[in-house]
Amino acid sequence: NDGAAIVSWMGHHPLTDDVFRKWRGSIFGVFREPWSHLRSMWAYFGPSWLRVANRSNSTNVIPRDLLSFSARVAGSTVLQVSGQRHGMDCLSHAYDCTHMMPDTRKALDRLGGFAFVGLTARWRDSMCLFHAMFGGPCLAVELEQYHQTNYRRVPWPPEDVSIEIDLATKLFYSGAVERFQRDWEMHKLTSGLCHYRCPSRP
């Protein structure tokens, strides 16, 4: 039913061809900058990853742990939007992980079927754009953060450890930024205007 389709997408399920055809033009997505997304995923799933590796969370992360994790989750957002894989797969050893080549072109093409594309890095601007496109007042509660990541749960490697974001993820995020910017310019918005329209809670 319709409710199941909505819950399915909200639950990190893949955006299957059937769901996309049914909801094309009514899909909303807010996407995160890839490096920030990786850090968040590691902060949440890293502790269980290290437990499987028989290492305490209090020790320094051995670079290969994070390198292995980043390789395992590479392209996760693209795979979910293209309908290839569940968004939670590969994030933890508790989930199955089948390597797939992300269909970046399909995921990028699907952004054209989204009613709205926002960016977490520009959250206030995204909420402002949403209301410019669909009406209604921007409420202070929309700017509050309810799921803050605890980055102290797991250590992060030193700065000299290089972690490369996969190409599919970078290309898809660039496409999301381009879509956001087009809508932003179409509605003639500025960050100053959005700060006025979407004030924080006093």
What does residue 36 show for φ and ψ, rounded to 5 degrees?
Answer: -65, -40
Q: Does the structure show a pLDDT above 90 at 154?
A: no
**Tens-digit pLDDT profile for residues 10-52:** 578 899 999 999 999 999 999 999 999 998 888 888 877 777 6
pTM equals 0.87
Q: Does the structure show a pLDDT above 80 at 107?
A: yes
Supply the pLDDT for residue 190.
95
What confidence tier does 177 reach under pLDDT thresholds 50, 70, 90?
Answer: very high
Measure the CA–CA gap between 102 and 169, rounded to whole angstroms: 9
Give the mean pLDDT of the chain.
85
Q: For residue 21, how many other CB atoms are within 10 A of its CB?
A: 9
What's the rounded mean pLDDT across residues 95-115? 92
Measure the CA–CA gap between 26 and 127, rounded to whole angstroms: 17
Supply the pLDDT for residue 171.
98
Task: Lowest mean pLDDT of 63-67, 85-89, 100-104, 170-174, name the range.
Answer: 63-67
Supply the pLDDT for residue 114.
97
Task: Lowest mean pLDDT of 48-62, 167-181, 188-202, name the range.
Answer: 48-62
